[in-house]
Amino acid sequence: MNPSLIFKIANGITLLAWLVLILSPNQLKVIRNLRVFVSGLVLGGVYVFAIIVGNGQAEGNFSSLESVRSLFANDYFLLAGWIHYLAFDLFLGTWEVEDGIKEGINRWILVPVLALTFYFGPAGWLLYLILRYVTKTIDKKVQPI
């Protein structure tokens, strides 16, 4: 199968999953299904497929930036790297929503956090952790004595 086609399909599935995550009500079952089925099984399966197909076709390794560049010159390893981002960012987004529900964080406040997580995973996670800390701090100050 063509890596460019797999890339487009994986992007479409992931975008749809993010839209469901952002627009669905606080339904833990939906959130957990996105994490298990889309992030884990679908994207995880595509990732493993890309690694297996690309194995032996690429030069390079993970010992230096130049070696990683050589490795990613192979379309299947480049695809695997991209799928890695998609899977883990979606996993992280589902965790943020589930934790936000548990912590009582307003779902609409999470939307910009989720957008940042979608585009720049670690930066979105950092923003979520700051939001979580601030929310907990405000809750402690507001609660009656």
Give the contacts of 4 (CB within 8 A, at least 6 positions apart). Answer: 75
Number of domains in the chain: 1
pLDDT tier for residue 25 given thresholds of 50, 70 and 90: confident
Lowest mean pLDDT among 5-19, 60-74, 115-129, 130-144: 130-144
pLDDT for residue 56: 80
Instruction: Give Dmax over CA atoms of the chain in angstroms.
Output: 66
| H or E, element range at 66 | helix 65-71
- Domain range enclosing 69: 3-142
Rounded Cα–Cα distance for residues 128 and 144 (Å)? 26
d(CA 48, CA 37): 15
Taking only the tens place, the pLDDT of each residue in 77-123 is 999 999 999 999 999 999 999 999 999 999 899 999 999 999 999 99
| Burial of 31 (C-beta count, 10 Å sphere; 0-12/13-18/19+) | buried
pTM for the model stands at: 0.89
Q: How far apart are CA 28 and CA 80, in angstroms?
A: 29
Q: Is the pLDDT of residue 139 over 70?
A: no
